[in-house]
A and B are shown apart, each in its own frame.
Chain A
Amino acid sequence: QVQLVQSGAEVKKPGASVKLSCKASGFSFTAFYLHWVRQTPRQGLEWMGWISAATGVTYYAPRFQGSVTMTRDTSISTVYLELNSLRSDDTAVYYCARDWPGSQGRVFDYWGQGALVTVSS
């Protein structure tokens, strides 16, 4: 069955970086786009960007451009989200989500379990 298993919770200080992982199984990894979506009490769900698992091409939302990096390792069917220069308002649950085939960000059919990132001094 399709699974997206994310790395665990992180606690970081302001200004630090963190790298989250999302391991895919149960489907052909390189046939899909993977997205990152974050959830905060204040902003709700926010789409951050996508990465093509096949090519590694990325596309970021303007508000996250320059502060996040998405990468993938096809040998282990894993995508990564690196968050840089963390601020307190980056405290959120970060989800990876699979793109419904061909939807190009219109629909997310499977989601990881989420990873809580807490940014606090």
Chain B
Amino acid sequence: QSALTQPASVSGSPGQSITISCTGTSGDIGAYDYVSWYQQHPGKAPKLMIYNVTNRPSGISNRFSGSKSGNTASLTISGLQAEDEADYYCSSYRGGNPPVIFGGGTMLTVL
């Protein structure tokens, strides 16, 4: 099973908005509304930011939002802040085994 496809890097200035894409197939992202997004700072564990495509866990800023169209999911971060600089990973349920696959990660740089 191939990993989901993410851009290697994106960048934006403080206050701007950026969007990170995550492309899968009709067997994973296209089939289920179970896309999650994780933020990972260097040397730290991943942190859940978005689940089930659009939902934010308690405590996550509403500057983070998720969406999906067809086989592609997106994470949008508005009002960029310096602390948003991190790697971001998408994941999708795919049924079968393994039940979940991840994207290759996107490095976000806040200029």
Q: Which residues of A contact B (CB under 8 A)?
A: 43-47, 59, 61-62, 95, 97, 100, 103-114
Pick the residue among B45, B52, B105 that contacts A95 (CB under 8 A). Answer: B45
Which residues of the other chain, A, contact B32 by a CB distance below 8 angstroms? Answer: 106
- The reply to whether A106 and B97 form a contact with Cβ atoms under 8 Å apart is no
Identify which of B34, B46, B52 contacts A45 (C-beta below 8 A): B46
Interface size of B by Cβ–Cβ distance < 8 Å? Answer: 25
Min C-beta distance of B23 to chain A, whole Å: 15
* B18 at the binding interface (Cβ < 8 Å): no
**Beta-carbon contact of B97 and A59 below 8 Å:** yes
CB closest chain-B residue, reference A109: B48
- Return chain A residues, CB-CB under 8 Å to B51: 100, 103, 106-107, 109
CB interface residues, B 81-111, toward A, < 8 Å: 89, 91, 93, 97-105
